[in-house]
């Protein structure tokens, strides 16, 4: 049985206008197989408007891969929450490990962005995860706990109701190496415990996504774990059939 109801596609720096159209068509053609599952597509900024034009049914929503923590002004190259809202964006990925590594995005920056996103009524998808050396040194939970504390703990309960947490072990992203369902569940249960301890009933309802080489052939076993409420999908979200199969696995 699946415990998942949310699947988010992270296209990263991939895709083009043609893909927005074909992906929308494939999802529309297969939607009967996964009704009740919320599907969010996060294309690059330049494809958001195009994608918005191809949203054919209610359960598909638009997401962005990043946002500025600033409201407006002299921040060349940045995109504000209000700009995303104007395009109909409902979800924003924050603190992806690629941004943490390549753009030196810190927990403090993620916290400021999460505050701006949730204050505006959008949903912040906050990514956390340990790298290989941290896992091997048995530091997985201490790393993730610190990320949660530093990027989420200043949010009000009302803001927390607009947060999704994505557990993405860095060693599993884009590598083909997936955390086993048991490994993922172990971390998800601890994240759930932290959320409940700090945000009680609101924390109990925060969706927890697993991300890291989720494919059509492993989605079902991951989504059957008690605290895995869906997936954040990179590479496999660029292929319509594969992505549809993952959405189908979420439906169970």
Q: Which residues are catalytic?
A: 96, 168
| Consecutive H or E run containing 183 | helix 181-205
Number of residues that bind ligand PEP (CB under 6 A): 14
Least distance to ligand PEP, CB of residue 102, Å: 12
Residue 31 as a binder of ligand PEP (CB under 6 A): the answer is no
Q: Do residues 142 and 188 lie in contact, with contact meaning Cβ atoms separated by under 8 Å?
A: no
- Rounded alpha-carbon distances, angstroms, from residue 223 to 23, 133, 228: 22, 26, 6
Q: Which is nearer to ligand PEP, 36 or 176 (CB)?
A: 176
Residues 133-192 that bind ligand PEP (CB under 6 A): 168, 173-174
What residues form DSSP beta bridges with 63? Answer: 91
Name the residue among 209, 126, 116, 190 with its Cα closest to residue 163: 126
| Beta strand residue intervals within the chain, DSSP E | 6-10, 38-42, 60-64, 89-94, 123-128, 163-167, 208-211, 230-233
Rounded to the nearest whole angstrom, what is the least distance from the CB of residue 175 to ligand PEP in the complex? 7
Q: Does 95 bind ligand PEP (CB under 6 A)?
A: no
Q: Which position among 9, 179, 214, 245 is part of the footprint of ligand PEP (CB under 6 A)?
A: 214
65 is an interface residue for ligand PEP by CB under 6 A: no
Minimal distance, residue 242 CB to ligand PEP, in Å: 11
User: Which chain residues interact with ligand PEP by CB under 6 A?
Assistant: 10, 12, 168, 173-174, 211-214, 232-236
């Amino acid at each position: 049985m699946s415990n998942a109801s949310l699947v988010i596609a992270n296209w990263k720096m991939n895709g083009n206008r043609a893909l927005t159209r074909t992906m929308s068509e494939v999802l529309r053609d297969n939607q009967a197989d996964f009704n009740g599952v919320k599907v969010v597509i996060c294309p690059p900024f330049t494809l958001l408007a195009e994608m918005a034009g191809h949203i054919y049914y209610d359960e598909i929503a638009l997401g962005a891969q990043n946002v500025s923590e600033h409201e407006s002004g002299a921040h060349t190259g940045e995109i504000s929450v209000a700009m995303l809202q104007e395009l109909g964006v409902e979800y924003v990925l924050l603190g992806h490990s690629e941004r943490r590594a390549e753009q030196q995005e810190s927990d403090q920056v993620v916290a400021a962005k999460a505050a701006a996103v949730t204050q505006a009524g959008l949903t912040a998808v906050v990514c956390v995860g340990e790298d290989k050396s941290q896992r091997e040194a048995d530091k997985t939970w201490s790393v993730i706990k610190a990320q949660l504390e530093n990027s989420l703990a200043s949010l009000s309960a009302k803001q927390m109701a607009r947060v999704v947490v994505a557990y993405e072990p860095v060693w599993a992203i884009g590598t083909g190496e997936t955390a086993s369902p048991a490994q993922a569940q172990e971390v998800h249960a601890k994240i759930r415990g932290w959320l409940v301890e700090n945000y009680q009933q609101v924390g109990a309802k925060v969706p927890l996504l697993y991300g890291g080489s989720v494919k059509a052939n492993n989605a079902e076993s991951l989504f059957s774990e008690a605290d895995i409420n869906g997936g954040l999908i990179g590479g496999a979200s660029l292929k319509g059939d594969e992505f549809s199969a993952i959405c189908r696995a979420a439906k169970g």
